[in-house]
Amino acid sequence: MTWTVLHIIGIIAYAISGAFVALQAKYSFIGIFVLGLTTSYGGSIIRNVVLDIPVSDIWERQSLLVVLVTLTTILFVKRNWIHHWNRWGYFFDSIGLASFAIQGGLLAKSLDHDLGIIIIASMFTGVGGGMIRDLLAGRTPLALREEIHAVLTFVCGLCIWAGWSSPLELSVIVIFIVVIRMLSVNNKLKFPLKFLH
C-alpha cells in the first residue's frame, strides 16, 4: 500500500466524517459540503500557517476532486442511514487522524524541522480539521474530550522523526493508530489523570 493510497483514504475518511456530522446536525447540502471540506483541509491550513508555508499548497486537483465526489455521493445516502455513523464514525475519523498526522509530520521533517515542530505539525494536521468541524456543528471538539486523540498524533510525530517513511512503515502507523483508537472508544479508555479531578 503506497503513501498516495493512504493519503487518499485519509482524505475520503475525513470528508465522510465531516459529511455525517453535518447530517447528524440536520444541515442542508451546503452544510455537508462545508463540513466535509473543512474536515479534509482545515488541519492542513492550520499546519501551513504554523510552518509559515503558503496555504495554497494544500489545494491539489486530485484530492479536491476526490473530496467533492465523496461528498456528492453522500448527498444521495438515505437519511435514515445516519444511525450507522455511530458505528462507523470513529473508524473513519481514526483513519483520517492517522493519515493526516503522518502527512503533517512528513511535511515538517522534509523542511528539516526538529522533533517539537514535527509533533506540532502532526497534531494540528491530525486534529485541526475535526476540531473546526465540531465547532461548526455546535459541539465540543472530539479532540478536547478524548486524550488519546492528541497522544496518537504525538506517536505519529515521533515515528516520523525517527525516520519511518516507507509505505510499509506508514501503513503500520495507520493500523496501530486505528486499532488503539477503536479499542479506546469501544472500552471507554481514558488516561488516569487523577490530578485533574
**Would you kindly state where each structural domain of the chain is located, as residue ranges?**
1-189
Q: What pLDDT is stored for residue 50 in this prediction?
A: 92
> Rounded to an integer, what distance in angstroms lies between the CA atom of residue 134 and that of residue 131?
5
Mean pLDDT of the chain: 86
Find all residues with CB under 8 Å of 182, minimum gap 6, and list them. 90, 91, 94
Cα 189 from chain centre? 20
**Cα Rg of the chain (Å, integer):** 16
For 47-96, the pLDDT digits (tens) are: 999 999 999 888 888 889 999 999 998 888 766 666 666 667 778 888 88
CA angle 79, 84, 89 (to 5 degrees): 110
CB–CB of 94/14 below 8 Å? Answer: no
Q: pLDDT tens digits, residue range 156-195?
A: 999 999 999 898 898 899 999 999 988 888 887 665 554 4
For residue 16, what is its C-alpha cell? 465522510
Give the largest Cα separation in the chain, rounded.
48
* Contact status, residue 105 vs residue 157, Cβ threshold 8 Å: yes
In 3-state terms the chain splits into helix, strand, coil percentages (rounded to 5) of 80, 0, 20
